[in-house]
Amino acid sequence: MPTFVKSVLIDAPARDVFGFHERDDAFALLSPSFPPAREISRTGGIQTGAQVILQVGPFRWIARHTAYEQDRLFVDEQVRGPFRSWVHRHEFEAVDGKTKLTDRIEYQLPGGTVVNLLLGWLVNAGLANMFRHRHRVTREFCEQP
Question: DSSP H helical segments within the chain, as ranges?
Answer: 14-22, 26-30, 113-142
Put simply, whether the predicted model's pTM sits higher than 0.85 gets the answer yes
How far is residue 77's CA from residue 145's CA, in Å, rounded to a whole number? 35
DSSP string for 65-81: EEEEETTTEEEEEEEES
Averaged over successive runs of 10 residues, the pLDDT of the chain (145 residues) comes to 95 97 94 88 95 94 98 98 96 97 96 83 92 97 87
Query: Given this model, what pLDDT does residue 145 score?
Result: 67
Q: Which domains does the chain have, with CATH numbers?
A: 3-142 (3.30.530.20)
**CA nearest neighbour of 55 among 73, 42, 45, 71:** 42
Q: CA 79 to CA 46: how far, in whole Å?
A: 15
Determine how many CB atoms are found less than 10 A away from the CB of residue 92. 22
